[in-house]
Amino acid sequence: MNVEQNIKVAVDAIVFGYTEGKLHVLLIKQKYGPMRGRWALVGGFVKTSESLIDAIHRELKEEAGIVVNFLEQLYTFGDDIKRDPRMRVISVAYFALIKNESVDLKADTDAEDARWFNIDELPQLAYDHQKIYEVAMNRLRAKLTYQPIGFDLLPKEFLFSDLENLYSTILDREIDRRNFRKKILGFEMIEETDKFAEGKPGRPAKLFRFNRQKYNRLVRDGFHFEI
């Protein structure tokens, strides 16, 4: 059977970062093509010789100069055959988390600029990237309630109030802070350090850290994380 097919495969990454109490998304400004000058997600075409995961890591490095902490395949976008005005393109999207307080963005290849945007102040996005962002945001909110991925957005050592604010920000609702603290500490997968936060008003507060090894052991023993 003869099949007429002329389809390109691409990858796109929705990279979330959290800093100063706000959730951000990494965007790059298109340097070439029909969307030149428009803001878009990091992404590009998959080379014949590489896997999807290698392609998305390459694009993140080439277009923004970053390596991410957490990366997960999100969804495949291709039902709209005109999603890319140049040709038929199917995109495999990934969502990623990164501690962006220590990231030095560096736009390169076909990206004119790379910048963090507050999720409440996103510009109009190129292609169907607004739809991809919305699917990723829903996945992030859902996943946050049953897997402790929030620690991939926080510094190695953090205030407990920062963790509370992170959950409240991403879930877009107030949380019962007393019950939240009781539940998180009850899981025994975060540890209180002997360090205090510097430069904070009021009574000095202890810093905490996430013990990933202990969490992994808990999971192997049948533990279920749920918020």
Residue extents of the structural domains in the chain: 8-144, 153-220
Residue 79, pLDDT score: 94
- Number of helices (H) and strands (E), helices first, in the chain? 5, 10
Average pLDDT of the segment spanning 26-43: 95
Residue 202, pLDDT score: 62
Instruction: Using the predicted structure, report yes or no on whether residue 149 has a pLDDT greater than 70.
Output: yes
Residue 101, pLDDT score: 65
Nearest to 89 by CA among 60, 132, 26, 29: 132
CATH 1.20.1250.20 fits 153-220, yes or no: no
Residue 200, pLDDT score: 65
Instruction: Using the predicted structure, report yes or no on whether residue 11 has a pLDDT greater than 90.
Output: yes
Average pLDDT of the segment spanning 48-68: 96
Q: Pick one of 3.10.129.10, 3.40.50.80, 3.30.365.10, 3.90.79.10 as the CATH number of 8-144.
A: 3.90.79.10
Contact present, 94 and 11 (Cβ < 8 Å):
yes
